[in-house]
Amino acid sequence: MSNRATATPDRYRPNVTVACVIEAENRFLLVEEWIDGEQKFNQPAGHLEAGETLSHACAREVHEETGLIITPQHLLRIDQFSASPALAFLRFTFGCQLSCCQASMPQDSAISATHWLSYDEICQRSPRLRSPLVMEAIHSYQQGQRYPLSLLSSQFLALAGNAKP
């Protein structure tokens, strides 16, 4: 019997990330970033940090990348995504609807701009989307997929350290 607590070098370890579909007035908030000299568009997104819940990670990333202070309202989807044989992700995508398109200002220097875009404007940028998950998340949002945040339990997070709300 193997010891599950001992990690092996070839163990599959996807990056855990969060993203947020933010909609207002039939427009979606996307961030613009430059990756390897190429312009890319994405939902506000980033990595889960030690000691934080998934929903807190989402709110933090939205604030860092857009300057907006939001609370995720629901979970839209969970995706496994492989960007390359050596780079994999487990992405938790949240949703948030705002009453109006709010002014946003990136706090993170890696984000060059934010844009409130219509569905058609996003489709026009499809070759420059960061991954296929960007459109898939928008489609899930438009189709009304909504899951309660209570699906994501963090009740045992405090055992490993100080949990952030």
The pLDDT tens digits for 11-53 are 888 999 999 999 999 999 999 999 999 999 999 999 999 989 9
The answer to whether 124 touches 118, Cβ cutoff 8 Å, is no
Give the start-to-end residue ranges of the domains of the chain: 15-145
Token digits of residue 97: 């609807």
Q: Which helix (H) or strand (E) holds 16?
A: strand 15-24
pLDDT attached to residue 6? 57
Average pLDDT, the chain: 91
The pLDDT tens digits for 133-162 are 999 999 999 999 999 999 998 887 766 555
Q: Count other Cβ atoms within 10 Å, centred on residue 54.
A: 21
pLDDT attached to residue 1? 43
pLDDT attached to residue 28? 98
Of the options 3.20.20.100, 3.40.50.1000, 3.90.79.10, 3.40.1160.10, the CATH number for the domain spanning 15-145: 3.90.79.10
pLDDT surpassing 90 at residue 9: no
Tell me how far apart the alpha carbons of residues 25 and 52 are, in angstroms, rounded to a whole number: 31
Q: What is the mean pLDDT of residues 90-114?
A: 96
